[in-house]
Structures are given as structure tokens and as C-alpha cells.
Amino acid sequence: MNIKLTSGKSISSSKGESILNALKRHEIFLLSSCGGKGTCGKCRVKILSGKYKTEITGKLTQSDREKGIVLACQTFPEEDITVEIPEGSKLVVGDKIALAKSKDLNELLKSLNAEITPIVKRLDIKLPPPTIEDYISDLERLKRDLELKGFTGMRFSQTFASSMADEMRKHNWEIHLAYVDGPEAIFVTSEKQVSRYGISVDIGTTTIVVYLIDLSDGKLVDVGSTYNSQIRYGDDVITRIIYAAEGKGLGELREAVTGDINNLLETITEKHKIKKESIESAVISGNTTMTHIFWGLDPEHIREDPYIPTVNFFPMWKAGTARIHINSQSPVYTMPCVASYVGGDIVSGVLASKMHRKSEIALFMDIGTNGEIAVGNNEWLMTAACSAGPCFEGSGIKHGMRATEGAIESVKIDPKTLELSLCIIGNTIPAGVCGSGMIDAISEMFFTGIIDRKGKFVREIKTNRLRQGDEGFEFVLYKGEKDIVLAEVDIENILRAKAAIYAGISLLIKEVGLGLESIERVYVAGGFGNYLDVDKAIILGMLPDLPREKFKFLGNTSIAGAYLCLLSEKMRKEAEEIAKKMTYMELSVSRNFMDEYMSALFLPHTDMGLFPTVAGLLKK
Ligand code: FES
């Protein structure tokens, strides 16, 4: 059977295969937040002709069905069909994404008093060339010299030996031996070769960032970023873990992430005329699931009670094993993870925030696709994952999207006219609403009386923006060719996510016998942190009602931590100490979590005493 696309392309599909899967096989990707379960409603396509079988779903209206619109993941061709893919259903993963602060990294390294000590060390070696009398082999010759220098026990891989002989002769027996602690010889290079490069990689569930660093001075040569192509298989880590268990799922997910990293590397190295082989080390930072998939480790046990990952402290495996296209012998340092749902990205964040060095009690939060938090100081550290879900990244929200061009990022509502002023990223026609836009919209709707404390629309309110939609009441944020709305079910989802975050913070603090008022500093990390309006997030009840000067935005701390560890041994040791020191609290088994969560489902909270400034504003 064939699926003919209106673009002119025709692809084959097998019996019983969904349109979504057939398209995916041919590298045509649709938005599929739920991974093909029929619950997100994002994979809409229009059937123009041909017979097909489709599951009835509440995600489509009667009028959609009359127009031939179906969900690609729930539709199976029964003969040749013609399909139109609407623009809004296409997944674009190659876009450039907004980047967090990168120029301050050098300052950060200095402020931590960390000397530059790269992962790969070098040893100057001048070997006497072989003669008829001195006829020992090349490797024995090298070992003899190392022993004279007091280096014993060096290990040599077959790959090292296979390239060593030519290199030694090429450089006239005057070489640099590159090695890592162990010690293990990595490669031989000319003593004249001075440029040394490394990469730091942040593997986020949504985005991937690669920094190319000059290891001699720590300068950032360039940055590459892209969406994580694994989005094709679902938005959140759980959907990806499930996909990894299916057939070749793990391999496909692994290929997607290494492919993204290699594509970024290709572009950056070409631009700067740097040989990929001269990249001698790498640091990877990501959550536990992303890290496992990157190394080809089955993440299955992460989601099964008692939630045990395969590895938390990763051995220094090689770039060849990781399948990233730099020197195949280059060591790859992986930021240590703490538990199944608190990974190396959070250890990176704590390291970059420096909270582990200070006596003040700080709260670190990364509101990305999951919502991880850490509380503590230089004596103790507690951490938890709030399972907030990816709704602030647009998933599970009717017109939700990531903070890219076309996203409504801020909303103001005139209390008298109930008219809106919007800020749209890129000053273009709105295509959806991103996390900060959702927070703005809800807090403004609450203050102007459009929604009540439960997040329900006040039906009596006089505005033509409130209307009955396909899935209940909705508020029109933007009227145009495609209306952008926030539906009551969307608000419910957002309130659930913010309640999970707030309950997590509150419980973690209580667990150590403290109150929220004892938090002296709040560090907010993640791409989302760049656009967040603290006042509005407090009105929503996502952030605790603390003096605003206590909040500090750090941008992408996962990549910042990876940068520090690429350059400094001291930082690598501190990262490991942080991971060991962190006490993980599994919120899903805590009896009090449900109580905290239920109380936090209101705007801003059931207990208004916890939000005195919001109570004051409401009185006014
Ligand atoms: S509804 Fe089809 S992928 Fe989610």
C-alpha cells in the first residue's frame, strides 16, 4: 500500500502499520508528544482520498472528522491513500534554539578558584631511536622510558598500539604521550601540537547543547544547539523509556541523540577548521534516562519499583564506544547521577550554583521537563524529582509550544476591558503559548476574576473571549486565522504541574525540619528560567512567596557544570562529592506528598497564609 502525500512524495506502508509509523520510517516526523498513544492529539493529518480504519478519539471534533482529519497514530490505511500534513503537525527538530548565558563561564571557573587541569594529561618523551644493538620493540621502548620517569603500571590498548608506531617515527621519537588517570595511554602526538580542544555536552530531554572549548585557556570557541531528535518518540522521559523497550527502540533513541551531537560537531569544527580528531576529551551532562540512552544502557529499571538505574557513577568510557565523532580514544566523563530521576544535570546545576560551598540554605530548581529540586548548603544536600511533567514545555496543552519563535511568552490583561496585550517571541503571528506565557495568562486571569481559585472559568464574566470549545470552556488569547486558546483542561494540567513542584519544595524543606522562610537563596535553572516572571510564578503558587531579591536565574546550569568538569579536576572531584552527599527523597512513596500536593492545587494555595504578598495584592 502507498501513502501519497500532497507534497508529491509517495511512501510505502505495511498492513496494520499506522500512518505515523509509516511516515517515521521514511523520516517524516510529526509532533507526537504521547509517543503514538492517541492521547496528545498533536499528530493530526487530513485524508483526502482512500479507505482507512481509524480509532474514534475525543481529541477530534465532529467537524474535524467531517473534514477528514484523523490522528496519524490511530489511523491505518486499507488501500492507497492521499494525505495532507498540516504545517502545525510537522515536527522541526533542527531549529536553532535560544541559549542561556555562556560568556560568563570563564568568570565562573575563576570564581571557583579552579585551575585548568584537563582530563587528558601529557608527558614529554624523547626516545632514543631503535638501532641494530638497541632492538627492543616500540612499546617496550616506551615502557622503558616511562619506568625511568617513575611511571609504572601504564595500560596500553590495542587501538593505542596500532597507531603508536607510525606516530613515533613521524615525530622523530620526540613525542607527547597523552594519557588519563589509571593510568592509561590514549594516543601519541607531536610535541609541537599545541592546540587542544574538548567538548561539553548537555543532553536535555528537549534540547541538546554542545560547547567546543579551547583547553589551553578555557575559552568557548563556539556553541551548537538543537532540539533533541528523540522528541520524535515522545516528549517526556517515561514515554522514551517505554519506547526503548520496544524492538530496536533503544538503538533508535541512541542513534537520534548521537546523530544530533555529531551533526552539531560537524558544523562547529568545519566552521573553525578544527580537526575532529584533535578533540581530546568530552563531558556529558544529562538526566539519568538521557545518560543511560546515550551510553546504550537499557533505562527500563528506572521506571520500575524500586527505581534503580544501571549506573550512577560512570567509568571513563571512550568516545568510540559513545559513537561520537571525535578522537575515538578520547575519554568521555559523564556527570554523576544521584538516582533514577535526579541526574547529572542536577549535580551540574548544584556545582555551577556553588550552593554546596556556602553556609546559606539555598533551593535549586530546574523547571524543565521534569522539575527537579535540591535544597541544602555546604553541610547537607537533599534532592527530589517532582514529576511535574513537560507541560511548561508545551506538552499536554492544546496550543502549548516551546519558547521559540511564534510563542506567546507574556500576557497582560486590562482589568477594566479584559483586553489582552501579548508579547510574542520573534514579534510574529502567534503559533502557540509557551511556559512563561501560560504562567502569565493564568495569574492575570486570576487577578482579573476570569478564573477562580480552583482555576475554573467564572461563567458570569463578561467577555467574548470566553467560549465553549471542543473540550469544554476555553479563553481566547489570540484571535486570528488560527485562534490560540487556553482551555480549562489546560489550566488543570498547569495547576497539577505547579502543585507538584510546590509540594516537592515544601516537603523537602519540612523533611529537614525547616520552614520555607529559612531559604536564603533560590536558584532557578533551565531554559525556562530565562523568561520566568517571578511575581507571576508566585501568584500561580509555583514558587514560594519569598522576598524577590532571593531569586537568581542561572540559565542552563547543566552545560555550565559540564564546562567546569571538562576543564578542572577539582571540579570533577566536587561533582562526585555532591552526587555522593545528596540524599534523594522519593516523593511518590511519601505519604505526605499527596496532602501537600492537594493543598497546592489552588491559586496560589489552600493556605493563603503561605502567600502573604499575593493575599495583600488580592485585598488591594
Ligand atoms: S495522539 Fe498521535 S501521537 Fe499523540
CB-based pocket (< 6 A), ligand 1: 32-34, 36, 38-43, 71, 73
Mutation probe of ligand 1 site: the residue of 43, 60, 70, 232 with most atoms within 8 A of C-beta: 43
Question: What's the CA-to-centroid distance between 86 and ligand 1, angstroms?
Answer: 14
Contact of 307 with 340, CB cutoff 8 Å: yes
Mutation probe of ligand 1 site: the residue of 23, 71, 89 with most atoms within 8 A of C-beta: 71
List the domains of the chain with CATH numbers. 2-89 (3.10.20.30), 105-113+196-334 (3.30.420.480), 121-190 (3.10.20.880), 354-390+494-619 (3.30.420.40), 402-485 (no CATH)
Taking the C-alpha atoms of residue 59 and residue 403, their distance in angstroms, rounded to an integer, is: 24
pLDDT of 442 higher than 50: yes
Summarize pLDDT for 64-79 with one digit per residue, the tens.
Answer: 888 899 999 999 999 9
Question: What's the CA-to-centroid distance between 42 and ligand 1, angstroms?
Answer: 5
pTM of the model: 0.86
What is the DSSP code string of 210-225? EEEEETTT--EEEEEE
Atom of ligand 1 nearest to the CA of 41: 1
32 — pLDDT class (breaks 50, 70, 90): confident
Kindly state the cell numbers that stand for 69: 482529519
Taking the C-alpha atoms of residue 586 and residue 57, their distance in angstroms, rounded to an integer, is: 35
Closest CA to 563 of 221, 122, 311: 221
Kindly state the cell numbers that stand for 609: 497564609
Taking the C-alpha atoms of residue 367 and residue 528, their distance in angstroms, rounded to an integer, is: 7
Q: What is the mean pLDDT of residues 441-449?
A: 95
Mutation probe of ligand 1 site: the residue of 19, 24, 39 with most atoms within 8 A of C-beta: 39
Helices marked H in 227-274 — which ranges? 237-244, 249-272
Q: In one letter, which amino acid is 193?
A: Q
For CA atoms 301, 323, 250, 92, the dihedral sign is positive
Residue 92 is predicted with a pLDDT of 60
Question: What's the CA-to-centroid distance between 59 and ligand 1, angstroms?
Answer: 9
Residue 619 is predicted with a pLDDT of 85
Mutation probe of ligand 1 site: the residue of 21, 37, 242 with most atoms within 8 A of C-beta: 37
Q: What is the mean pLDDT of the chain?
A: 91
528 — pLDDT class (breaks 50, 70, 90): low
Atom of ligand 1 nearest to the CA of 71: 2
Taking the C-alpha atoms of residue 230 and residue 298, their distance in angstroms, rounded to an integer, is: 15
Question: What's the CA-to-centroid distance between 525 and ligand 1, angstroms?
Answer: 30
Taking the C-alpha atoms of residue 368 and residue 376, their distance in angstroms, rounded to an integer, is: 20
Residue 99 is predicted with a pLDDT of 47
Residue 95 is predicted with a pLDDT of 44
Taking the C-alpha atoms of residue 432 and residue 308, their distance in angstroms, rounded to an integer, is: 37
| CA distances in angstroms from 575 to 118, 347, 357, 385, 459, listed in the order given | 15, 6, 12, 19, 53
Kindly state the cell numbers that stand for 486: 487556553
pLDDT of 564 higher than 60: yes
Question: What's the CA-to-centroid distance between 35 and ligand 1, angstroms?
Answer: 6
Enumerate residues 6+ apart whose C-beta is below 8 A from 322. 258, 282, 284, 294, 295, 332
Atom of ligand 1 nearest to the CA of 31: 3
CA-based radius of gyration for the chain: 27
Kindly state the cell numbers that stand for 63: 467537524
Question: What's the CA-to-centroid distance between 56 and ligand 1, angstroms?
Answer: 13
Question: What's the CA-to-centroid distance between 541 and ligand 1, angstroms?
Answer: 30
Taking the C-alpha atoms of residue 218 and residue 211, their distance in angstroms, rounded to an integer, is: 11
Residue 253, CB-side half-sphere exposure with 13 Å CA sphere: 33
Distance linking the first and last C-alpha atoms of the chain: 66
100 — pLDDT class (breaks 50, 70, 90): very low
Question: What's the CA-to-centroid distance between 31 and ligand 1, angstroms?
Answer: 8
Mutation probe of ligand 1 site: the residue of 34, 54, 238 with most atoms within 8 A of C-beta: 34
Backbone dihedral region for residue 36 (phi beyond 0: left; psi -120 to 50: alpha; all else: beta): left
CB environment 205-241: b (16+ within 10 A), e (fewer): bbbbbbbbbbbeebeebbebbbbbbbbbbbbbbbbbb
191 — pLDDT class (breaks 50, 70, 90): low
Question: What's the CA-to-centroid distance between 54 and ligand 1, angstroms?
Answer: 13
Atom of ligand 1 nearest to the CA of 59: 1
3-state secondary structure of 475: strand
Question: What's the CA-to-centroid distance between 440 and ligand 1, angstroms?
Answer: 28
Summarize pLDDT for 142-173 with one digit per residue, the tens.
Answer: 999 999 999 889 999 999 999 999 999 999 99
Range of lowest pLDDT (190-204, 532-546, 580-594): 190-204
Q: What is the mean pLDDT of residues 480-507?
A: 94
Atom of ligand 1 nearest to the CA of 38: 1
Contact of 20 with 11, CB cutoff 8 Å: no
Atom of ligand 1 nearest to the CA of 43: 2
Closest CA to 19 of 240, 9, 11: 11
Contact of 385 with 370, CB cutoff 8 Å: yes
Cis peptide before 306 (omega within 30 of 0): yes
Of 31 and 583, the structure prediction assigns the larger pLDDT to 583
Atom of ligand 1 nearest to the CA of 72: 2
Atom of ligand 1 nearest to the CA of 30: 3
pLDDT of 228 higher than 80: yes
What is the DSSP code string of 348-406? HHHHHHTGGG-SS-EEEEETTTT-EEEEE-SS-EEEEE----GGGGTTTSTTB--SSTT
Taking the C-alpha atoms of residue 287 and residue 557, their distance in angstroms, rounded to an integer, is: 12
Residue 355, CB-side half-sphere exposure with 13 Å CA sphere: 31
Range of lowest pLDDT (97-106, 313-322, 393-402): 97-106
224 — pLDDT class (breaks 50, 70, 90): confident
pLDDT of 530 higher than 70: no
Residue 325 is predicted with a pLDDT of 95
Question: What's the CA-to-centroid distance between 229 and ligand 1, angstroms?
Answer: 17
Taking the C-alpha atoms of residue 608 and residue 545, their distance in angstroms, rounded to an integer, is: 10
Task: Report the percentage of the chain scoring pLDDT > 90.
Answer: 71
Atom of ligand 1 nearest to the CA of 36: 3
Question: What's the CA-to-centroid distance between 74 and ligand 1, angstroms?
Answer: 8
Contact of 43 with 35, CB cutoff 8 Å: no
Taking the C-alpha atoms of residue 559 and residue 569, their distance in angstroms, rounded to an integer, is: 17
Question: What's the CA-to-centroid distance between 234 and ligand 1, angstroms?
Answer: 9
Which residue's CA lies nearest to atom 1 of ligand 1? 38
Contact of 257 with 288, CB cutoff 8 Å: no
Atom of ligand 1 nearest to the CA of 73: 2
Question: What's the CA-to-centroid distance between 462 and ligand 1, angstroms?
Answer: 35
